[in-house]
Amino acid sequence: MTTTSFLGDKPVHRIGFGAMQLAGPGVFGPPADPDACRAVLRRAVELGVDHIDTAQFYGPDVTNDLIREALHPYPEGLRLVTKVGAVRDAEGGWNMASEPQQLKDQVEANLRALGVERIDLVNLRRMERDNPGGEEPALADQLGALAELRDAGKIDLIGVSSVTLDTVRTAIETVGIGEVQNPFSILDRGDQPVLDLCREHDVSYVPYFPLGSAFGGGGPNALAADPHVSGVATKHGVSPSQVALAWLLAQYDRLLLIPGTKSVAHLEENLAVLDIDLDADDLAALDQVEPVVAGH
């Protein structure tokens, strides 16, 4: 399995690091052991991770502060990716904040917190999958705001997150995008049409809930209970979760993973997925896995 791919035109390791879990419970407040979190970040970079996914609303502020404290000045080639479109309230609630000026303000907040003058990629987080039919600002205005920041040199690439096929197509055609970040896993393949569109246009695809959403019956336990997944895991001497991640990497050469953890041991387990070579028999068996989450 190839170990490198691309984020836009930037070569990156295919397994990056998602910083969301570094915040406290519910992605709110500080972690119990900030030193351990900083140690995980440093170890990730030592092991070749060069793609870190974060957001100012993780905490809020917490993960970006940890990243800056652990890694700044950043090693050459480290790609920092964030997302905008939401804020947190004092109780930890998630509130939409996606008017064009709000998006610009959030990008500026990320720049300050991370201690950089330009962010490699900023994802526009939409609510259309969470709340179909709900009102939110016009996509064209949102993308236009991010394109202005790109023109000003504050963003290198634009991405979209939690979006429909039509939104991805529009974003590709109007501003050009570097990635899509949507839910996708061996247990929930409902986003396959978006993945196919990304493949058609050489757009990177970054799945969240890569083990399936625990809210929808997925997660490590569901993977372990599936005989096809557990059978392939036993054959390779790895965990069912590692098989599920290896399966994702086999779907598309520009699919990038950003598993997150507070544990160095778990980090190393995630990175070892690149050593798993699934053969044709493995992939045929895994194609028989029954989905546990309805497609969108």
∠ at Cα 213 (83, 124), nearest 5°?
15
Element (H, E) at 232: helix 227-236
Is the preceding peptide bond at 60 cis, omega within 30 degrees of 0?
yes
As a whole number of angstroms, the distance between CA 179 and CA 229 comes to 28
Burial class (CB in 10 A: 0-12, 13-18, 19+), 35: exposed
Choose the catalytic residue: 58, 74, 205, 252. 58
**DSSP 8-state code for residue 75:** P
58 given a catalytic annotation: yes
Burial class (CB in 10 A: 0-12, 13-18, 19+), 235: middle
Pairing, β 86-88 against β 94-96: antiparallel
∠ at Cα 129 (196, 259), nearest 5°?
65
Is the preceding peptide bond at 73 cis, omega within 30 degrees of 0?
yes
Residues annotated as part of the active site:
58
